[in-house]
Amino acid sequence: MAKQNPYAPTPADRFTFGLWTVGNPGRDPFGEPTRPRLSPAQIVELLGQVGGVHGVNFHDNDLVPIDATQAEAEQIKRDFRKALRRARLRVPMATTNLFTDPVFKDGAFTSNDADVRAYAIQKTMNGMHLGAEFGAKTYVFWGGREGTDTNVSKDPVQATGWFREAINFLCRYNRDQRFGYRFALEAKPNEPRGHIFAPVTGSMLGFISTLDLPDMVGVNPEFAHEQMAGLNFPQVVAEAIDAGKLFHIDLNDQEAGRFDQDLRFASQSYKHAFFVAKLLIDYRYRGPKHFDSHAYRTADYADVKAFAAGSMRSWKILEAKVYRFNRDRRIQNLLGKIHHDRPQLARLTRRYSKQNAKAILNAEFNRKKLAARPLPYEQLDQLLFDLLMGVR
């Protein structure tokens, strides 16, 4: 009998893909599509064949083209619903396409044109209804054109105000309609030439605290986007966890200093990917793990399936490595030695009081001895490498 695959994904892993990710036809700025376009129902069928997938997410126009008639829309939705049932997939997240159509060439919520700004809000309200029809509970906001090609065109303070107005408006619509969505803001530094406002997840976290209903809004950090900005993605995820704002996560990969690559998760940055997995496991993240990436331009149908299966397999392998890391005696011993706990000092620094301040001022520290304490990070890092490479 064949041995059971220990890395096989199951719906309990909450792995999700987007209609736009597995359905990506391989087009890029320099070349036409290399794969036939699949209908939403066909994409669901593909994911069903891959197996172990929890759900599929969409932008409004991934499902219903922007110019579809009412009758066409109903037919597409019927076919999609049937495919979802057959493949046993859910729709945990929905979002709005506020970037493809030329109407958004100068932005959506931050367009200089009040008509476009209102249209963007209308389109998002309709998108929220569409997502709700399929049971989505997370609504992502990714402002693909919310920026400027040139700083001469917009007042960035005013634009930030318009963005706030839009999110405040839509939060209240969410409440009025009882959709029960949690909003997740996704940052990206540039797209493709434009400089996007609130370019990193940290900016979004700061922005959220200025909203009318901040509890409704969190973030959807994306691996590739933060790497494009030169940031350490595990640290970005940690910041979102600490703020209680990790509502969703986009897993993919990206090489630093490169144009947006949207590579398969863990295909490039093994170490960062490992630490993202470690954070989500150690801090018990229970939301969807969404692979916002697409297959190589050279991939055919079978290879797109390999891309989807590989994304989940890589996560499961890293997950197993995290458990191994967490119970590896030598690694844990080293970590234990590195952490020096002094409960009596920790009590003093935990909260300010006049007495605590005085006690700390009077405490004696041997600066030279402290500096001489060993920090065997070279050993620790090599143990991590050995573990990741399967020789430990």
Give the residue numbers annotated as catalytic, written as ranges: 59, 62
Which residue, 54 or 188, is less far from Mn ion as judged by CB? 188
Which residue, 121 or 251, is less far from Mn ion as judged by CB? 251
Note whether 200 and 220 are within 8 A (CB).
no
Q: What gap in Å lies between CA 270 and CA 249, rounded to an integer? A: 17
Q: How far is the CB of 186 from Mn ion (least distance, A)?
A: 5
Does position 60 bind Mn ion by CB under 5 A? no
Give the residue at shortest CB distance from Mn ion.
292
Q: How far is the CB of 251 from Mn ion (least distance, A)?
A: 9
Which residue, 68 or 229, is less far from Mn ion as judged by CB? 229
Q: How far is the CB of 292 from Mn ion (least distance, A)?
A: 4
Please identify, among the stretches 99-107, 110-118, 290-298, 348-356, the one whose residues bind Mn ion according to the rule CB under 5 A: 290-298
Which residue, 95 or 314, is less far from Mn ion as judged by CB? 95
Which residue, 17 or 109, is less far from Mn ion as judged by CB? 17
Please identify, among the stretches 92-100, 217-225, 332-340, 346-354, the one whose residues bind Mn ion according to the rule CB under 5 A: 217-225
Which residue, 222 or 226, is less far from Mn ion as judged by CB? 222
Q: What is the DSSP letter of 257?
A: T
Half-sphere exposure of 282 (CA within 13 A, CB side): 18
Axis crossing angle, helix 114-133 with helix 156-176, rounded to the nearest 10: 30
Which residue, 22 or 387, is less far from Mn ion as judged by CB? 22
Q: Contact with Mn ion (CB under 5 A): which of 250, 253, 262, 328?
A: 250
Please identify, among the stretches 195-203, 207-215, 244-252, 365-373, the one whose residues bind Mn ion according to the rule CB under 5 A: 244-252
Please identify, among the stretches 104-112, 234-242, 289-297, 379-387, the one whose residues bind Mn ion according to the rule CB under 5 A: 289-297
Q: What is the DSSP letter of 243?
A: T
Please identify, among the stretches 31-39, 114-122, 246-254, 304-312, the one whose residues bind Mn ion according to the rule CB under 5 A: 246-254
With CB under 5 A as the rule, give the number of residues binding Mn ion: 3
Q: How far is the CB of 90 from Mn ion (least distance, A)?
A: 19
Q: How far is the CB of 187 from Mn ion (least distance, A)?
A: 10
Q: What gap in Å lies between CA 315 and CA 267, rounded to an integer? A: 11
DSSP β-bridge partners for residue 249: 289
Q: What gap in Å lies between CA 221 and CA 232, rounded to an integer? A: 12
* Closest alpha carbon to 43 in 314, 313, 288, 307: 307
Please identify, among the stretches 42-50, 95-103, 214-222, 374-382, the one whose residues bind Mn ion according to the rule CB under 5 A: 214-222
Does position 292 bind Mn ion by CB under 5 A? yes
Q: How far is the CB of 18 from Mn ion (least distance, A)?
A: 8
Show the beta-strand stretches assigned E in the chain: 15-18, 55-59, 93-95, 138-142, 147-148, 182-186, 190-191, 194-196, 217-219, 249-251, 289-291
Which residue, 142 or 181, is less far from Mn ion as judged by CB? 142
Q: 380: buried, middle or exposed (CB in 10 Å: 19+, 13-18, 0-12)? A: middle
Does position 62 bind Mn ion by CB under 5 A? no
Q: Is 250 helix (H, G, I), strand (E, B) or coil?
A: strand
Residue with tokens 């691996």: 223
Q: 44: buried, middle or exposed (CB in 10 Å: 19+, 13-18, 0-12)? A: buried
Considering only residues 68-127, where is the footprint of Mn ion by CB under 5 A?
none
Q: Is 330 helix (H, G, I), strand (E, B) or coil?
A: helix
196 to each of 60, 146, 262, how far by Cα in Å?
22, 6, 18
Does position 222 bind Mn ion by CB under 5 A? yes
* Closest alpha carbon to 238 in 201, 193, 211: 201
Q: What gap in Å lies between CA 149 and CA 192, rounded to an integer? A: 9
Residues that bind Mn ion (CB under 5 A): 222, 250, 292
